[in-house]
Structures are given as structure tokens and as C-alpha cells.
Structure 1
Amino acid sequence: MTSEFQPPYVPLAGLDQSLKTRGFALISAADVRQWLPATPDELQELHRGWNDLPADGYLKDGGHYRRRRHSCFEVRGEQVQQAPHRAHWQPLEYNALHGGMQRLFEPMDPALVARPVWPRLLGRVGAVVSALRGEQPWFVEAHAFRIDTTDGIGRPTPEGAHRDGVDLVAVFMLERHLIKGGESRVFEANGPAGQRFTLLEPWSLLLLDDQRVIHESTPIQPLQAEGFGWRDTLVLTYRSGGFQGD
């Protein structure tokens, strides 16, 4: 039996204040649906795209546990426009394992990003980072991740505790299927304080002020010794001034 630290959710009214004072905020699934707003059916339709994610061919640790897609968008208030497809790039400063590489992933399913809930979701998170940093255009990278137990364990953050080099990171938990582990850990970037918890609810949300905190998720394992499981997330990063690598 494993212990799980329950997420310290904040009410929607306290979202902005939590980001400003603690550098992160956790929102329950019910509040996320109200906040977007979105129906359970709309969110379920989005999640169906995770059953068709190509393997990540760039893992330097030799693993086969990560599948993903990646697309970029520009968010200007309520206006959301998809940017031309491009490689994902991070400097070594923020990703010691995979930084400095031009990693070109398959784009997100056009049918998925054409759904009305998609621009609503990106715009809503954009309003949060605008409240934190001021109204401006945001350059958004969207990552659809499935971490599975093909190798016995799966590593959501093989690079370890890190920052992403952006203004805001949004991690939507979509599904945990027959796994244990996958604990989220958030630490002050320039201090000793930290917090750990396990995101369990489908479509609960972790928001991170990337300039103030570092984060990681622990490896996952199957619930049964010979079993197979996975962890699905949607990760959005919001950056001012342009995409990394421009």
C-alpha cells in the first residue's frame, strides 16, 4: 500500500492570490469545469485524442515509456490562433537531459484543436497569466503526454526537478489508469519550502508560476507486478515575447 498526499485545492476565488503568494495553485475538477466553462462530455471528447499519441523518439535514457504530440498557439485575450508547426526547443539551463535539441513531434490532432472547448481552455489559462504578469500576447506550447509502464516504470519528468523557462505552466491531469506513484512536487526556486501531492481527479489542474517554483513528478509503476498502466496529462506553457528558440 502506498500513501498519497491529497492535493491542497484552492477555491476559484483564491486562484490568483495563491499564484501570487505561493507560486502555484491547484484547482479541483469540478471547479475547472465551472471555470472554463466546459461540460464533462466536452472534456471527454478532448481526452480521446490521447489514444493516438506517437512514441517519443528523443528519450536520452533509452526508455520507451513516453508518447506525445506538440503544437503551438498564440493567445491574445480571447483570440487563439494556431502557429505554424515547429520543433520544441529548450536550453540546457532548463532541461539538462533534453535541452539544446530540436525535437520535432507530431502535431496535435486537427479535429481536437478545432473543438470549441479548445480555444476556450487556452484563453482561460491565458487570462490567469495575464492577471499575474499583465495583459499581453502569450506564446503557448501544448503537449499531450501519455506516460506508461512499458519499461516497468514510466518517468513523467526524466529531467528531474526543473523550470521550463516560461511564465506559466498549466498541468491538467486527464487520467491515471492502473498505476501507483506519479506524485507531484513543487519547490521554491530560491528557498527551502516545498509541497507534495498526488493529482487524482480527471481534469484537475495544477498552475505554476515558472519564475518562482521548480517542479517534478515521481515515476509511475503498474498497480500489479505484471500489469500495465498509464498517466495522461495535458501540459500548456505560456511565455511572453515569443517561443523559446526564436
Structure 2
Amino acid sequence: MQDVPKTRRVRVLVYLDLRSLEMVASFSPPYTDPGALTQQLKEGGFAALTPEAVAALAGVELQALHALDGSWDALVLDPYLKDGGRYRQRRHSCFVVAPDSISQVPHRAHWQSLDYNALHGGMHRWFEPIQPQVVGQPAFQLLMGAIAAQCSAQRPDVPEWFVEAHQFRIDTTDGIGRPTPEGAHRDGVDYVAVLLLGRHGIKGGETRVFEANGPRGLRFTLTEPWSLMLLDDARMIHESTPIQPLDDVGYRDTLVLTYRAGGFQGEA
């Protein structure tokens, strides 16, 4: 075998070392004071809240949100992953949220254009609906309505929000799990709320948020159950890095709520 020049060997070793460091680095979320949430979202394009602030925003005890946790054990394997992976389970339901009402719409497919999801866009993906006992929990509806109110504070011209709710579990069955296999992206909606439910036996899963038309970006790791990242989808691009197991198979649970004015994606 031809000998590799020493300088080249050094460069390779440094590169691998930096990759290893990146996998274990963890930066704390830039939590926003709840009273400054509206202003932070307007000026910065995104905001992060502690679990206690999320519960206060919804007007419930934190324990009421934790009462939903067990439903993530009943998610269903995502059959649409184009990379052939088995690492994603999910459920999906849709709602129309107005200031004084929340209505679940008949079960419908999740659809995104190729402009927003180059990997899975352009096709109707039918997922199992979120279980009725979850949708019927006051905490679930109050949380969905409270985030809608924050969206309305940014866009008071919008009379109602078309909301898609996604329960996700990303695991390391394949050795690695990809929360965002499509890479850094926008969702094609107006606002996106990502709530971390829990991390179990994993490393990675770092959140990265970038300005869509600017140089500013942040990286941090949501670790506290029921912490929140809320972002303006028109202004910000986001992704979550892959997860790896610390020992045996691990997983990361999230609830993603997307808010769109004028209708669901795929509607005329």
C-alpha cells in the first residue's frame, strides 16, 4: 500500500477529532423571558421557552402536559422514508384554530411541495391520526390555542390558523436516527412550534436555526421535557442533527405544531 504523506495524515486526524467533538457538544437554549416572547419572535424570528414557561403560556400545570407523554409509546412506523430507514414513528392530525374555537378537521394527508421538502415533498403522506384521548385532553387544546394566540399577535390580520400536529419518535434502531432527513429546511407554513418531550439514551439531536436571508444562526440542544422552540417559518431555516445511541437503542420524542394562514398545504 502506498504510504500516505505525514501532513495528509495529520489533516485527516484533526478532521475526525473535530467531528467527534461536534457530536458531544451541547449548547443551552437561549430561553426567552415569557413576557418578552411576542417581541422576541417579532425581532429575532424565533424564541425558546422553558417547560415552566410553556405550561404558563397554556394556562395549565406542567403535570397536565406530562400526562400526554405516554401517548408517544403508541406511535406508528413512518412508511414513507425514502432513505429506507426505520427510525421514525409518528401520528398526524389537523385542526382549525380560531380565537374562540378549536375544530379537528376530517383526517387528511400531510402534503408539502418539493420547494420546501426536496426529499418527501410532492406526495400525499397518510399517517395514523393522533389518538382521540390525546386530542381530547384540555392541556393539548389549550397549548395549541395559546401558540395560535402568539401567532395572531404577529399577524392580527389572520382570523384563523390551519394547524397540523405531528407526534414524532426518532430512534436509533438503524444505528442512527435523523429528525430532519430532508436537511435544513422551511416547512411552507407561517409558524412552527417544536416541543421536546424527552431524550432517552442518545447523543446529538442539536437544533440549528438560521436566517433564511441573512448570516445569523444559532445552535443549541433542547433537553428539558416540554421545552419549546417557536419560529417564523418565512424568516428562519431550521434542522435537527442526527442522534446516536449512548448504549442500547435510544430515542427522542417531539411534538411539532405548524400554523398556516389561509388553508392547509396542498389546498387550492
- TM-score after normalising by structure 2: 0.89
- In the alignment, which residue of structure 1 is the partner of 2:17? none
Aligned to 1:208: 231
Distance (Å, rounded) in 2 between the aligned partners of 1:9 and 1:108: 29
Alignment of 1:180-191 (within 5 A): 180-191=203-214
Contact kept in structure 1, 2:65 and 2:140, CA below 8 Å: no
Name the residue aligned to 1:233: 254
Per-residue Cα deviation, 1:49-72 (whole angstroms, up to 9, x for no partner) = 100000000000110000000000
CA distance in structure 2 between the partners assigned to 1:78 and 1:66 by the alignment: 34
Residue identity opposite 1:245 in structure 2: G
- Would the aligned equivalents of 2:95 and 2:104 in 1 still touch at CA under 8 Å? yes
How does 1:58-207 map onto structure 2 within 5 Å?
58-134=80-156, 135-207=158-230
Shift of 1:118: 1.6
More helix by percentage: 2
Alignment partners' CA distance in 1, 2:257 and 2:139:
15
The CA distance in 2 between the partners of 1:117 and 1:193, in whole Å, is 34
Paired AA for residue 134 in structure 2: L
Percent sequence identity is 61
Aligned-pair distance for 1:40? 3.0
TM-superposition CA deviations, 1:105-160 (whole Å, max 9, x none): 00000011011112111110000100111142100000000000000000000000
In structure 1, the gaps of 5 or more residues are none
Q: Which residue of 2 aligns with 1:31?
A: 53
Which SS does the other structure have where 2:253 is aligned? strand
Q: Which amino acid aligns with 1:205?
A: L
Q: Any runs of at least 4 consecutive aligned residues in structure 1 with deviations exceeding 6 A, and if so which?
A: none
For residues 140 and 76 of structure 1, the distance between their equivalents in structure 2, rounded to whole angstroms, comes to: 10
Aligned to 1:218: 241
Q: Cα offset for 1:78?
A: 3.1
* Partner of residue 19 from structure 1, selected from 34, 37, 41: 41
Q: Which entry has the higher C-alpha Rg, 1 or 2?
A: 2
1:221 Cα deviation from its structure 2 partner: 0.4
Q: Hey, what's the Cα distance between the residues in 2 that align with 1:39 and 1:47?
A: 14
Post-superposition offset of 1:39: 1.8
Give a deviation string over 1:169-225, Cα, whole Å, max 9, x none: 00010000010000000000011110000000000000010010000000000112x
What are the Cα deviations for residues 54-98 of structure 1, in whole angstroms up to 9, with x where unaligned? 000000011000000000000001310101100000000000000
Report the alpha carbon displacement of residue 33 of structure 1 after superposing the two structures with TM: 1.5
Give, in whole Å, the separation in 2 of the partners of 1:10 and 1:41: 21
Amino acid paired to 1:141: E
* 1:41 and 2:41 are equivalent in the alignment: no
1: CA distance between counterparts of 2:72 and 2:60?
Answer: 18
